[in-house]
Structure 1
Amino acid sequence: MPQQATRPIPTRPPIVVLCGSTAHWDQLTEAALYETAAGRIVVAPGCNMNQPHALWSDPVRADRIKAMLDTLHLRKIDLADDVLVVNPGGYIGDSTRREIDYAQRLGKPIRYTHPV
């Protein structure tokens, strides 16, 4: 009798990384809520540099932090199983476009919250 193929049992829930403009912080937060409720591990931007904060009040320091955060987000994409682009009204800025291109080069599945 032939053996039935079995699928491996996942050792962890899927990891999704959220990409999108922090100008849409509320929509990123809402997407994180829904993805978490769907049983996914959510990796998302951790800083909203559009909101005033002492960490980036100095323009030189802000530029340095922004560059570090951009690189850090690419590492988050490396970790993720798929990408969810939060793009209200179809908006995709330069940073998000760069992240999408990077994810595509890695072969990551990409979903969008709004049609592109």
Structure 2
Amino acid sequence: MSYPQQLTPEEKLADVKKLLSLPRIIVICGSTRFMAEMNEADLRETKDGKIVVKPGCDMKSPHELWSNPAEAEALKARLDDLHRAKIRLADEVLMVGDYIGDSTRAEIAYARSLGKPLRFTHPEVDPDA
């Protein structure tokens, strides 16, 4: 007797997206030094009918929410976890900017480990090109 194979969480998510007729979901990644470019990419991707998720906090800019160094460090860890969740949710990853630092390199590695398609605004910075 053969039993049906269980779907992976990723397969279940893909099925739900189809059932809900969701547009393609794009996650924007990169250094927050490129927030202006991320906002421009958000506009263009949204105009093309895609759902866009991107970093919501620019910790390189001063703000009361991360003015305390100890709290800022804990917030950075939570934001990194949140961004990895955005990568898992997305159908595609758009890497913005002409610089790849350690955090962005980790995002690229994570997205690739999940088999997510990647696009680069500056393909020459792709560490695996």
Interval of TM-score (by shorter of Structure 1 and Structure 2): 0.7 to 0.9
1:62-81 alignment, distance < 5 Å: 62-81=72-91
**1:110 aligns with one of 118, 122, 125:** 118
Residue identity matched to 1:50: K
Gaps of 5+ in 1: 1-7
1:1-116 alignment, distance < 5 Å: 11-87=21-97, 90-116=98-124
Q: Residue deviations 1:35-74, cap 9 Å, x none?
A: 1111100010000111111110000000000011011100
TM-score (norm 1): 0.88
Structure 1 CA distance for aligned equivalents of residues 61 and 19 of structure 2: 42
Structure 2 CA distance for aligned equivalents of residues 110 and 70 of structure 1: 18
Q: CA deviation at 1:115?
A: 2.1
SS in 1 for 2:28: strand
Matched-pair identity in %: 56
Gaps of 5+ in 2: 1-17, 125-129
Structure 1 CA distance for aligned equivalents of residues 38 and 118 of structure 2: 15
CA gap of 1:91–1:58, structure 2 versus 1, over 3 A, is same
Runs of 4+ in 1 over 3 A off after TM superposition: none
Give the alignment's Cα RMSD to 1 decimal.
1.4
Structure 1 CA distance for aligned equivalents of residues 111 and 54 of structure 2: 14
